[in-house]
Structure 1
Amino acid sequence: MAELEAQAPTPERGLAVRGLRLAFGDTVVQHDVSFYVAPASIFVIMGVSGCGKSTLLRHIIDLQRSAVGDISFDGQRLVNAEPARRAALQRRIGVLFQSTALWSSMTVGENVALPMQLHTHMRAGEIRDQVAFKLALVGLAGQEQRMPSELSGGMAKRAGLARAIALDPDYLFLDEPSAGLDPITSQRLDALIMRMRDALGLSVIAVSHELPSIFTIADDSIYLDNQSKTAIAHGNPRHLVEHAEDARVRAFLKREPIDEPARATTNEY
């Protein structure tokens, strides 16, 4: 199966995931996960807590690796790529982690500058200009000298976004971007994500279980099921909410209860 997946043709543009298996030792989180993210679109990975959404994201951005399945960016395979090519692909990826992961001892400007200092040959003046530009893009113009502890939750998310796009990535990954935000701030962040997609031509892959955000930003989506441990729905959530074949998907999108078999333990992934 793995050999067949590795031999399958890959699209020239976009992100393609084929037959991916997510596991911790003998514990399978998800299996046979396949989907495609079109260029300049917003793709949402959704499902109930503990189904493996963040684990899937970590596999795609190469923080974890699977022995089964294939991942390619614009036709370039990430799995088993030589180190130089793997590093080049990783520089085309920006990530906003759920906690923002800003360095608390650095100013906002220093946080955004760090990727440019580590991965480019830009001069100090050029980096300062790019930091100012990226902060302006996310609505934080002039905030270079503030410390992360001085930021509100929404401002911290925006600062994290500015750092995520510091290297002008083609792919932007967001892990629960609306987590911990009030509804108004969450709406503003959703609008910013869509503006960035349009202005920068980004392919955005977001992990989320926040229904208002899912319905607002998603062009396409995949639903990871925690019972069958595979994806059971794929499509625009505004269509799936009424037309998904599996009742669990419709119940999730309508925020309705659904009977699940009792489990002795609950594992969060």
Structure 2
Amino acid sequence: MARLDEHDNPSRGLVVRNLRLAFGDTLVQDQVSFHVAPAQIFVIMGVSGCGKSTLLRHIIDLQRAEVGDISFDGQRLISDDRAERAALQERIGVLFQSTALWSSMTVGENVALPMQLHTRMRAAEIQDQVAFKLALVGLAGQESRMPSELSGGMQKRAGLARAIALDPDYLFLDEPSAGLDPITSQRLDALIMRLRDALGLSVIAVSHELPSIFTIADDSIYLDNQSKTPIAHGTPRDMLDSTVDARVRAFLKREPIEDAAQGADA
């Protein structure tokens, strides 16, 4: 289970505690608490508009929450020390939904950029690391190609190679399977699990793609768009087998929520 109570104090992994997400007076989610253990794949799921990507942006420090706390291995994300925040952010890799690859740079240049900006590695060392990271994601020898020359699945892999360029401890994925055909999506799921195993990554993925959720998730949380709170924690399979909430069951079974609610009342 990912649920935290007031007595929990995990010293390792990602801990999100009592987070409140809002835009002015508009509440997005409240009372969000969970723990992601080392080398675990954790999925944040829910229907469109429930706040999944908003939660992700808060965890990677693109937005600040007024209430709640986020920590990585006991180190609080919210800090006024710029050097401390920068060091923590270098432990985080992110694959955005659009991949966010620089279209004017080659694949190799895209992967090299984080190393050029945040390390003192020499050019030859960076070149070796670029080749290694591309090989890890199945793009060996693709350094000189432009992002526009790649298929959608290959662009996702190139984005993954850049996300792991600095050997992060935590990898965040925003709808990694979005826009991919089922076969390419399955291959990407397999790659994510291989990277988790090979690099010991903690992976936090936002997704509403059920095949991927059931394939990769070691643990998960369901954000409800009506109560504006998480209403289910655990593995997707356990949720499907044991949840009594009609909205969670409808989501996991890909059923209309109205039909699920009527079935529950029958």
Asked if 1:170 is matched to 2:203, the reply is no
CA distance in 1, matches of 2:138, 2:48: 31
Range 43-52 or range 238-247, more displaced: 238-247
Determine the C-alpha separation between the residues in 2 that align with 1:124 and 1:9.
45
- 5 Å-filtered alignment, 1:1-269, equals 10-259=9-258
Paired residue type of 1:16: V
How far residue 142 of structure 1 moved from its aligned partner, in angstroms, is 0.2
The separation in 1 between residues aligned to 2:91 and 2:167, in whole angstroms, is 7
Q: 2:65 is aligned with what amino acid? A: S
Question: What CA deviation, in whole Å up to 9, does each residue of 1:161-215 have, x standing for no partner?
Answer: 0000000000000000000000000000000000000000000000000000000
The alpha-carbon deviation at position 8 of structure 1 amounts to 7.5
Instruction: Give the SS at the match of 2:139.
Output: coil
Tell me the alpha carbon deviations over residues 120-142 of structure 1, each in whole angstroms, 9 at most, x when there is no partner. 00000000000000000000000
Number of matched residues? 255
Unpaired segments of 5 or more residues in structure 1? 261-269
The two structures have a TM-score, normalised by structure 1, of 0.93
List gaps (5 residues or longer) in structure 2.
260-266
Give the AA of the match of 2:181.
D
Distance, in Å, in 2 between the alignment partners of 1:139 and 1:172 is 18
Question: 1:12 Cα deviation (Å)?
Answer: 1.6
What is the CA-CA distance between 1:9 and the residue it aligns to?
Answer: 6.7
Q: Distance in 1 between matches of 2:46 and 2:73?
A: 26
TM-score (norm: length of structure 2): 0.94
Is the CA contact 1:10–1:72 (under 8 Å) kept in the aligned structure 2? Answer: no
Q: Secondary structure at the match of 2:29?
A: strand
Pairwise CA distance, 1:80: 3.0
Report the Cα distance in structure 1 between the residues aligned to 2:130 and 2:42, rounded to whole angstroms.
Answer: 27
Q: 2-side partners of 1:55 and 1:207: how far apart?
A: 10
